[in-house]
Chain A
Amino acid sequence: MTVWEVFRRERKGQPFQHAGSLDAPDAGFAAAWAREQYGRRGESEALWLVPRAAIREVRDFPDALDLAYRRVDGYSLKERLREARERAGTAARDR
Chain B
Amino acid sequence: MTETEFVEYLHAGGQVEAGDWMPDEYRARLVKFVQMHGSSELMGVLPEREWILRAPTLKRKLALTAKVQDEVGHAQLIFRVVEDLGKPRERCLAELAAGEARFHNVFHYPTRTWGDVGVIAWLVDAAAIISQKALLKCSYAPYARIMKKICWEESFHILHGRDVVLAMVTGTDEQRELVQEAIDRWWPPLMQFHGTRIPADEDPMLHWRIKTQGNEEARQQFLESYVPQIRELGLSIPDPKLRRRDDGVWEYTEPDWDELRAVVTGHGPRSQERLELRRRFFEQERWVREAVLAA
Contacts and interface: CB of A to CB of B under 8 A. Distances in A.
Interface string B65-79: 000000001001100
Given A21-B84, A43-B152, A29 B76 contact: no
In this complex, the member of A21, A38, A41, A57 whose beta carbon has the largest number of chain B beta carbons within 10 angstroms is: A21
B1 interface: no
B145 interface: yes
Contact-residue size bin, chain A (C-beta under 8 Å from the other chain): 10 to 19
Contacts of B19: 57
Given A21-B84, A21-B142, A38 B149 contact: yes
A20 B293 contact: no
A18 interface: yes
A89 to B, nearest CB: 45
B12 interface: no
B53 interface: no
- Give the size range of B's interface with the partner: 10 to 19
A23 B79 CA distance: 11
Contacts of B81: 20
Interface in B260-277: none
Contact of A22 (B80, B145, B295): B80
Contact of B295 (A19, A25, A33, A57): A25
A26 B153 CA distance: 27
A25 B142 contact: no
Interface in A22-48: 22-26, 29, 33, 36-38, 41, 43
A18 B295 contact: no
Given A37-B77, A43-B152, A26 B295 contact: yes
B70 to A, nearest CB: 8
A18 B153 CA distance: 18
Is chain A's binding surface mostly helix, strand, loop or mixed? mixed
Contacts of A24: 292
A65 interface: no
A37 B153 CA distance: 11
A36 to B, nearest CB: 7
B206 to A, nearest CB: 25
Interface in B134-186: 142, 145-146, 149, 152-153, 156
Contact of B77 (A1, A3, A20, A43): A20
Nearest to B83: A23
A24 to B, nearest CB: 8
B80 A21 contact: yes
Contact of B142 (A20, A22, A23, A37): A20
Contacts of B295: 25-26, 29
A10 B292 CA distance: 30
Contact of A19 (B83, B84, B146, B292): B146
Contacts of A33: 76
Contacts of B73: 36-37
A23 B80 contact: yes
Given A1-B293, A25-B292, A25-B295, A20 B145 contact: yes
10 contacts: A19-B149, A20-B81, A21-B142, A22-B76, A23-B83, A26-B295, A38-B149, A41-B153, A41-B156, A57-B19
Interface of A: 1, 3, 18-26, 29, 33, 36-38, 41, 43, 57
Please list the 7 inter-chain residue pairs (A to B) with the smallest Cβ-Cβ separation, ordered nearest first.
A25-B295, A20-B146, A20-B77, A21-B80, A37-B73, A25-B292, A22-B80
Interface of B: 19, 73, 76-77, 80-81, 83-84, 142, 145-146, 149, 152-153, 156, 292-295
